[in-house]
Structures are given as structure tokens and as C-alpha cells.
Amino acid sequence: MERLKDRVAIVTGAGAGIGKSIAEVFAREGAKVIIASRREINGLPVADKIVKEGGQAKFIKCDISVEEDVKNMITSAIKIFGKIDILVNNAGIYSAIPIEEMNMDEWDKLMNIDLRGTFMCMLYSIPKMLEYGGGSIINISSNHSVACYPGSAHYGAAKWGIVGLSKALAVELADRNVRVNVLSPGLIDTPMWHDVQASAPDAEKSL
């Protein structure tokens, strides 16, 4: 249907799972897609598959917890495709740690990727969207923003933070043609979920 014909989209965490599926659907709808991933071994095959199927995509290695990586991702996207219309903040990590075993390194690691990384991607892409007349931001939160689970204080805080951040910027940018929305998926059959189950003492109870 090419509903996204000539749109340029950045999808973070696009090397697997939800991000990979979003990137593939966007490409089928005519978007030019930046496949952003920390691991080339994951991200590059996604971009190659899209191109092989007749779409347009480029892989950019990016760890969204690293400010220079995020800046480079935005700059490279514009150099490659000329603008940014859509940003999907999908990249994130998860770990289950009881509060009595939590430490600041674990807290900071997750926050730096899931919340701070999402904010940085928005921080550096929004001025470019405004320069080109507007855009759309889709932030992937979690059902943890609705109902939290034991052992996920840091993850729940980050995902609630994404919702609050998105609401604030949706209001701030509404009159400048930049939409900000949140999706909060439940359990999805992705590599991340497989990792969670594999690390659980009882895989059935992890459900």
C-alpha cells in the first residue's frame, strides 16, 4: 500500500524482535529505514534482507546509551536519506533482580539504555524533524507501565518514565507537527523473552 512512501524512519533495536518486525513492515510500506543496532551481526542481515526484497534500508551501529553513537546515528541517517520523518525508540534491555540484590550499577545500566537512551534519541532527532517540517515519534514502553512484576523495580521505573516523557513532549510539540506516541506491548515471543525464560530458576513461573 506504500503508506510510508518516501518517509525516512529510524528504528532502534532493529536487529531482532519487535524492532526487526517494525523495520520490515515499514520497508514494505515504502519507508527508507535506518536499522540501528548495537550488534552488526544482528542489524546488518535485517538491512540486507530488506534491500534484497526491493526495499531501502541501511544499517548503522548504535549503542543508544552512548551519546556520540546517537549523534552519529542521526547525522548518518540524514546523510544517507536526507531527512528524518519517523523515530521508533524500541531498543531496550531487561533484567529481573530482587530489590535486596539490586545495586546502582544494575540500576544505571538499565536506565542508561531504556530511559536515558530513549531521551537522547529524541533530543537529537527532534530538531531535525522540526527543520524538515515535522515528524512522528513512537516510543516502545511495556505492560510494566501498567502493571509491574516482582524483581523489576528498575525496568518498571524506566518504562513508566518513557510514558511520562512521551506525554510531556507530545504536549510540547503538538503545535509544531511532531507527534509523540507510546506503545506498551505485553509478552511477545522475542529473543529477549527467551533470554528471560532461560535465566529464570523456573521457566513456567517466569510466565
Question: Structural domains in the chain?
Answer: 8-199 (3.40.50.720)
**pLDDT at residue 16 above 80?**
yes
Dihedral over Cα of 95, 100, 101, 107: its sign: positive
Is pLDDT of 201 > 60? Answer: no
Considering the entire predicted model, what is its pTM? 0.88
Catalytic residue from among 124, 132, 149, 155: 155
Confidence band of 145 (pLDDT split at 50, 70, 90): low
Q: Is 132 a catalytic residue?
A: no
**Three cell numbers written together for 4:** 510510508
Q: How far is CA 130 from CA 14, 36, 50, 206, in A?
A: 24, 22, 28, 43
Q: What is the pLDDT of residue 185?
A: 77
Span 77-127, pLDDT tens digits:
999 999 999 999 999 999 889 999 999 999 999 999 999 999 999 999 999
Q: What is the largest CA-CA distance in the chain?
A: 52
Cell of 103: 545495586
